Structure formats: structure tokens, C-alpha cells
Structure 1
């Protein structure tokens, strides 16, 4: 049926990071975002398998898959307490300070129309922060997937 599919709004995407310090399964929404980019081909590696019998036509095998997710927006604080948004604060003060085996954490994302989360084990690189005289302070982070992604059902709690 032509015309029944429609594009989805970018503002409908939801991003959450797992609080590895919490005793229970705790996911922290990341607020203040106004842009994201998922690059499903980042860190891909291939091997040339072209042989004489290919008669001059190139051939390759993918040897490694990878992906990155960059999120960015505005640095957010609570108007009353002045505390940074919990999701941003976890990324800035906990996750980005971890190294070695501890540097891997989890992020999940989905569109508001979807019933499953995409979940990555990833490392995080903090983004630049800044702004000019009449601007809001920027904030961002880039996640590099480690291993295969997984999925989980969206659980709605009343």
C-alpha cells in the first residue's frame, strides 16, 4: 500500500546508560540531546580475497564489525539543586574515568515507536563542551560498541 509508511521524528529517540554502581538494574535517561549519529560501519575491517579466478573482479570478506553512536546536545542541570542531569553526570563523572576492563559499560537506545531496546556494551569518549556569549553550553559523548549488540523488550511499569 503506497503512502502508508511515514518517516519517524528524530526527537523520538531515547538513550539511556546503565548505572553500573547501582545495586539494582538501573538505567539513566540522558537528557538535553538534540542530535545523534549511529555509524554501523565504524571500525569494520575487511580482508581482500580476490583470486585469479575472479577474473579481475574484486572480492572481500568482512573480518570485523563495529559501530559508534554519537549523542550531543546541551549540558543540563536541575533548576533547584543545580545538579547535572543524572545520565550526563554518570557519563562525565563515572564512566569516562574508567580504564582497562572497567572501561566498558552499557548503553541502550530505541525510538518511542519501538518495542525493543538495542543494547550495546561499549566504551565512551567524552565530547567537547563549550559555548559563546549568547549560547547554551554544549555536551556530548561517543560510544564505541564492543562485541555484538543485543536487544531487550521495553518493559512499561505502571
Structure 2
């Protein structure tokens, strides 16, 4: 019998576009994520008299977003590598440079889903007895691809 998978088992990484070796940086300290496969979807109404009063449509554009959130994290003054890349590099890119790659998978999966995406930084906040929040939203650009999980030798 199939069993539900844990939400905490999802891994999200961003490609370090400044590294010629296409290094992937994990985004750590997350406590929430949401993927919306119908974001930015566009449809065309194809209802005609022949539809006998029932609505019809065709999907003309597919879109998707992933929103991740968690806690701003640093150890010995060094920020989490994925958070640092998002905050200090990707956030300031504009135009064609605003696109980068991100990928995600569940720990039980043997392949990554890879997106070329734009990124919108999330709010950072906190009250007196809180930890500082951190987040980002990735908007897919184009069709997703896949890549095998490669383990280090």
C-alpha cells in the first residue's frame, strides 16, 4: 500500500550562476513550501453553439510557481549558501539576467525537476521573541526538465 510522503523530505537548490562549474547550492532551514502548477495559466474559451450549453476551453499557456519559506540562517557569520545566493546575487538581477535555474526533488526520488525561473525575494520579519523569517518565490519560465540525482564518488 502506498504511503504519504513527508513534506520535510523535499530538497530545493539554486544554481550558482557565478560559478563556471554550475555548482548547485542547497537552500536550508526551510519550514514551508508550496508549488502551484496552475499559476500564470491562460485558457481560450472554445464554447460554441455546438457545446449544447456546456462550457469548453483549451489551455493556451502553462505556468507554475514554488514558494519556499523558513528561517534566516547563519553560522559563525556565514549565511546558508542557498539563502545567501538568493539574497545577494539573484535578487539584484534584472532583464534577461533575472533568470536562473533552480531544482527540487523529494529524498525518495531519483531525479531532479529543473526549472529556469525568475525569483522574487520574500519578506524578512520577526518580533521580540521570534527568529528572523526568510523566503523566496520562483516562477517557472518555459517547460521544466529533469536531471538524474548524481551522488558524489
Length-normalised TM-score, structure 1: 0.95
How far the C-alpha of 1:27 sits from its partner, in A, is 0.1
Confirm whether residue 26 of structure 1 aligns to residue 26 of structure 2: no
Confirm whether residue 138 of structure 1 aligns to residue 136 of structure 2: no
**Structure 2, unpaired ranges of 5+:** none
Aligned match of 2:147: 152
The 3-state SS of whatever aligns with 2:116 is: strand
Deviations 1:41-86 (A, max 9, x none): 00000000101111111100001000000000000001x2x01111
Please list, as runs of the form range in 1=range in 2, the aligned pairs for 1:42-53 lying within 5 A after superposition: 42-53=39-50
Aligned match of 2:124: 129
Aligned match of 1:10: 7
Aligned match of 2:97: 102
Q: What CA distance in whole angstroms lies between the structure 2 residues aligned with 1:49 and 1:151?
A: 33
Q: What CA distance in whole angstroms lies between the structure 1 residues aligned with 2:102 and 2:8?
A: 18
The 3-state SS of whatever aligns with 1:124 is: strand
Length-normalised TM-score, structure 2: 0.98
Q: May I ask how many residue pairs the two structures share in their alignment?
A: 153
**Structure 1, unpaired ranges of 5+:** none
Which of structure 1's runs of 4+ aligned residues deviate more than 2 A? none
Q: What CA distance in whole angstroms lies between the structure 1 residues aligned with 2:20 and 2:147?
A: 20
Q: What CA distance in whole angstroms lies between the structure 2 residues aligned with 1:39 and 1:23?
A: 31
Aligned match of 1:62: 59
Q: Which of 69, 72, 78 lines up with 1:75 in the alignment?
A: 72
The 3-state SS of whatever aligns with 1:62 is: strand
Q: What CA distance in whole angstroms lies between the structure 1 residues aligned with 2:139 and 2:85?
A: 17
Aligned match of 2:84: 89
